Chains A and B, each alone.
Chain A
Amino acid sequence: MPTPHRGRHPLWTTAPARLLHSPGWLVLVLLAASLLVASVVAPALFRTSARTAALDARVETAAAEPAPGASADLRASWVGGVLPTPGEGLVLERLDALPGFGPPVLGAAGAAQERRLRAVVRVGGTSTGAALFTHDGVVEALGGDEDDRGVWLPTEIAEGLGVVPGDRVRVGLESVSATSAASRYAGAPLAGTYDPAPGSVLPAAVADTPGSEDWVLPLDPARPGSASPLVVTGRATFARLARAVDEEPLYAVDLAADPALDPDLAEGAVAALQQLAVEAFDDSTELARATQRAVPIGTRLELASGLPDLVDEATEAASSAEQQVGPYATAGQVLAAALLLTAWVLVGRSRRREEALSAGLGVHPAATGALTLLELLPVALVAVPLGTVAAVVAIDVAGPPADLGLGDLTAGDRGLALLGGGLVLLLPSLVAVLAALRAEVGGRGRLGARVRAVPWGPLVLVATAVVLVGVLSTDPARRGGSPLTTVLPLLVAASAAAVVVRLAGLVRLPGARPGGARWLAGRRSAGAAAADRGQQALTAVLAVTLGLFAYTLTVHRGLVEGADDKVAALVGAPTVTSFEDALRGTGRRAIPPPVDGSTLVWRQRATLPPVFGAQQLLTIDPPTFGDVADWGSTGTLAPGRDLIDRLADPAADGVPVLLAGDTERAVGDRGTLEVNEEIGLPYIVVGVLPAFPGSEARTGDAAVVASSRVVFPRLPGYLDPRDPLSVDATGPFTAEVWSQAAPEELRDRLRGIGLVPDDVVTMAGAAVGEGLLSSSWAAQYVVVLGLVVLLLALASALALGLRLADRDAVSDVLLARMGWRPRQLAAARTWEVVRAVLTAGVATLVTTAAMLLGPSLVDQVTSVLPVSRPRVGLTEVLAVAALGVAMVLASAGVGLARARGRSSAEVLRGNG
């Protein structure tokens, strides 16, 4: 039967499906290709995710801040006039059109009353203080409807005036004295009455509405800080009555930030806000003209939102995160590329004869490269979507806490995925071209030429030393972003591998029974150590990958726990509220913490002569401080807790102090502490610490920690915070209440005792602001990096297994004929693998020790102490051990499979 003729270039037409004939290689190559695509796409996705997460975190923390306009919500307001209905409609329409915000909710209150005019409701000749008020939804909550022309009065006032619903009342502004401005009133029917909520002027029916504490209320000038009783009306009635009595109301339109606010939407919202704000003050715009037509006086629309600041801060945090992750992202890409190259080198090893055949047939290396490209085209077509999905899932699971989905992919992300696909095609093709060039004619064995091996070991050691010097001479603050810092761990691992592998070749393990599997392994290793540089190189690669895997684990732990330490040093406790000088004692007695579960910390400027420059003095309350303060995760701050009691040592000669941060002082040093540049206090150093809770609130110099119970009694009255009348013009002690409670809970509890904090700082908020949140995200990225290294390690183990099996092909057949059982031969090779992995383990120990004890390369927020450095725990040790076992199993398994798949006849014929 004639053979069907299908195409004149079968080598080309069959190339795309070629890997299907080798499912094992296909899986390995597809995995490596997908990882490469993922590593190329991931940084951009990380950026998107970091922006979203940083914005979410800032929006969340800003919502808890007491300062008006700090949150992402928008308040548009105008004061002094009532807009004509079309004008009001225009304003609301423009506000409603703003992206990134919910629907506008309008509220207004009379604001004209002052010392000479009082807002009242009057029936007959009887007046009682009450001011106009409207807010969307309130009338409906009281049983009326928005178009209702009547008013609602507090039940008590209605009863006092003797009116019932349906009666007419007059509301207006009443002259307080004869010389005051004229009184003016307008009539309206009483639509109903309501009971105010306890302690509030708002109707009980709406007092619990979320955000009601921020509604505009008519403030009573006679009682500062208190609101007037409310004459509740619908929006139109409010405008009619206000116009009638020449009220100068304060209008506020609140727009809640969209809960689904993402960075792009937020940036759009900020741009639109800024445009609207400009229009409001540009008289050529319809908006400005509309507000100018307000009666009795023209007004301007003013916008207040923390969103622009939040977007800026989030962008900064995202940039910081991106910067921190940058080196790891690059390393990930390099490793993923290395994995793909390794995979293709392994594929190439299985095709060595074919390479020789192609060279012998004169196939151009470029054609070989193009054939490889064609062969990998289907792989790339699958790897692009697969890698993209993997990147999305990895960033979603291990990246910043932002819901990331395939729908969030941008055109840029897709472009990067295609770039990754291009690399999938290009890198192995280059390997194939190089292999083809090598297989071509070239070696001529020139007479007299000598074989010179490249001295990789010494070269790596020298490179490591050079790079180490470069890193050490780099400013620690800029070390994190240096390419030298990125490459140093790899070089250290390579150096350790080079040295340990060389030394391992000299070690002879005693006790192997001649003729046994271990004995054979020893004999083979001894022979290989001298002759097989390839096997040594593979063992070194095993050592490098295992070392890098261990390093990624220690970096992950170091970054996560280091960020915890830094946040603790920055803030001190989960929630810290501060009071400028509002919190003072009641006499010269110790001030107890204002609420349960809190502690009081006082801050003041101090100097420690002869060192000039202000440092911060933290005076703490030792009995309550230890349990409330956050002591971080690594134990670096923990010694401070043990030293707290020594701060209150009554026997000390001087004020016992702890010094936290960079200082040249030592325990036992004495001197004079100048408080606020006024008072000199003798001190004795009882402890020197790298950091202390709250010591980095104002980063830079060392913080001085002392007990308030020791310091305050030594201060003059005007500086002593225990004195209710203490006033110091040059700067009083600032009080902070530290607590482990949530910010809202602490604020409510403080309000309950009449304390309104000036500022609330949370550890979560500080983490965002100082880029420490980004550190934890970078740590997650390192985990993903570790997974890539893990795959690389396993691929290296597979390569070792194949190499050993190929090396032993002939000798296995001969040994089998001499009576060795297949199990013994497999066991002998497994012993060799175990030896290689143990060697790698020792090198890993050396690498890890060097990276743990050497200068930290991972601290990206060097402005905040303590320094983050790689850390090791039981989990890391177990993970590395597990990988070592997996490497042994993979290597031995693939070697066994390769050996079983060979026929002895083929081996002896030379085709094995």
Chain B
Amino acid sequence: MATGDVLPGPVVEAADLTRVYRSATGETYALRGVDLALLPGSLTVVAGPSGSGKSSLLTLLSARERPSAGELRVLGGDVAGASAALLRRLRHRRIGYVPQRASTGLFPHLTAAAHVRQVASWRRDRHADVDAVLDVVGLGARGGHRPATMSGGEQQRLAVAMALVARPALVVADEPTAELDHGHADRVLDALAAAADEGSAVVVSSHDPRVTERAGRLLRLRDGVLSSETAQSRETVAVIDNAGRLQLPPALLARFPSRRVVVEADGEHVRLRAPEDPA
């Protein structure tokens, strides 16, 4: 059985997801109350400026860290309360992860082919075609090379290949095209889209318009809060979180220079206007 068999419900469910990083100088809120659900077969892109919390969100979704508050269920497991062994099993067999910096996702003493072979072994895919997996990301001829002899882009693609081996149920990729040229970026995106088509829930963070254009669903994060969501219909909706807070897209935000808003209910509609504007 491939590890990515389609689940009946959401692969990821998050409610009021909060992540705080502590340091000697204080606490930093990376995520504040994010609500989210990822379905099998979806390709979701998380976009947002640097520091908006993209990487923090993806780290949580890949069950690498536990949330500081809120709920997070990944592949049926409660990440906050699950045992370390359960989370380890999820990461080992069912979650593919592409780190933001490619070299941090590779073993320096293994060849590219050995990386793929090892991950396939962990995911119990005895029949994985290593060459085919490497071909998908354009590394068919580099299977015998170690990371030190590969370029940053090649390392990045190898990390993507590892994440896709054996079609995991959830693929989390943190800026997978950041170091790639157009051709290779398209190849990687094709591979990620193919994984989604085969039933994996794929979530990708990126600034790259090439990536956001291909998203089935585009989530925008700002200051740790999910500000808007654009579905395949291309209709952008703002997100109201559990506390009733609403983030406006930047273009709309400019209409409220005083950062104050009058909310008016008008029949079935709710209207927002600046206080200085006439009613």
Contacts and interface: CB of A to CB of B under 8 A. Distances in A.
B104 A353 contact: yes
A447 interface: yes
Interface stretch (A1-9, A175-183, A790-798): A1-9
Given A445-B20, A909-B101, A359 B64 contact: yes
Contacts of A651: none
Interface in A513-564: 531
B44 interface: no
Contact of A909 (B107, B130, B152): B152
Name, among A5, A441, A447, A910, the residue most crowded by chain B CB atoms within 10 Å (CB to CB). A441
A144 B8 CA distance: 116
A12 to B, nearest CB: 9
A444 B107 contact: no
Interface stretch (A361-369, A465-473, A691-699, A832-840): A361-369
Given A2-B131, A353-B104, A445 B22 contact: yes
A440 B84 contact: yes
Contacts of A11: 107, 110, 114, 118
A361 B96 CA distance: 8
Interface of B (DSSP majority class): mixed
Nearest to A3: B143
Contacts of A284: none
A827 B268 CA distance: 72
A209 interface: no
A442 B111 CA distance: 31
B15 to A, nearest CB: 16
A5 B117 contact: yes
A354 interface: yes
Interface string A1-38: 11111111111001000100100000000000000000
A592 interface: no
Nearest to B119: A361
Interface string B84-110: 100111111101010101011111111
B23 A447 contact: no
B67 interface: yes
B93 A362 contact: yes
A817 interface: no
Nearest to A19: B109
A582 interface: no
A364 B88 contact: yes
Contacts of A911: 101, 103-104, 152
B64 A360 contact: yes
Interface string A445-467: 11101110100000000000000
Contacts of B67: 444
Interface string B216-243: 0000000000000000000000000000
Given A3-B143, A14-B109, A447-B69, A9 B93 contact: no
A143 interface: no
B214 to A, nearest CB: 25
A443 B65 contact: yes
A356 interface: yes
B66 interface: yes
Contacts of B108: 21, 354
A357 interface: yes
Given A5-B130, A447-B68, A909-B152, A441 B87 contact: yes
Contacts of B9: none
Interface string A830-870: 00000000000000000000000000000000000000000
Contacts of B95: 362
Interface in B1-60: 18-24, 27
Name, among B95, B104, B134, B152, the residue most crowded by chain A CB atoms within 10 Å (CB to CB). B104
A11 B117 CA distance: 9
A10 B66 contact: no
Interface in A855-905: none
A3 B113 contact: yes
Contacts of B202: none
B114 A447 contact: no
Nearest to A350: B108
Q: How large is the interface on A (under 10, 10 to 19, 20 to 34, 35 or more residues)?
A: 35 or more
A361 B91 contact: yes
A442 B126 CA distance: 32
A441 B64 contact: yes
A362 B90 contact: yes
A677 to B, nearest CB: 77
A594 B108 CA distance: 83
Given A10-B117, A440-B84, A441-B64, A360 B109 contact: no
Interface string A154-166: 0000000000000
B144 interface: yes
A442 B109 contact: no
A362 B91 contact: yes
Contacts of B18: 447
Interface string A744-778: 00000000000000000000000000000000000
Interface string A570-598: 00000000000000000000000000000
B187 to A, nearest CB: 18
Nearest to B23: A451
A445 B21 contact: yes
B20 A363 contact: no
Contacts of A445: 19-22, 27, 68
B247 interface: no
Contacts of A357: 99, 104-107
A362 B122 contact: yes
A361 B107 CA distance: 12
B92 A356 contact: no
Interface string A351-383: 001101101111110000000000000000000
Contacts of A359: 64, 91
B262 interface: no
Interface in A584-623: none
A361 B92 contact: yes
B77 to A, nearest CB: 11
A10 B62 contact: no
Interface in B110-138: 110-115, 117-122, 126, 130-131, 134
Contact of B114 (A10, A364, A450): A10
B248 interface: no
B80 interface: yes
A443 B20 CA distance: 10
A21 B109 contact: yes
A362 B121 contact: no
A443 B119 CA distance: 25
Nearest to A7: B117
Interface in B131-159: 131, 134, 141, 143-144, 152
Given A357-B106, A444-B68, A451-B24, A362 B92 contact: yes
B22 A449 contact: yes
A3 B134 contact: yes
A441 B78 CA distance: 13
Nearest to B63: A441
Given A3-B144, A361-B92, A362-B89, A441 B66 contact: yes
Contacts of B84: 440-442
A14 B110 contact: yes
Nearest to B114: A10
A441 B82 CA distance: 11
B20 to A, nearest CB: 4
B92 A18 contact: no
Contacts of B68: 444-447
A450 B23 CA distance: 9
A517 B90 CA distance: 51
3 closest Cβ pairs, A-B complex: A362-B92, A3-B143, A362-B91
11 contacts: A3-B143, A357-B107, A360-B105, A363-B122, A441-B87, A441-B88, A442-B84, A444-B65, A446-B68, A449-B22, A909-B179
Given A3-B130, A8-B126, A440-B88, 15 more contacts: A5-B117, A10-B110, A10-B117, A10-B118, A14-B114, A21-B109, A357-B99, A357-B105, A360-B91, A360-B97, A360-B105, A361-B91, A441-B87, A444-B66, A911-B104
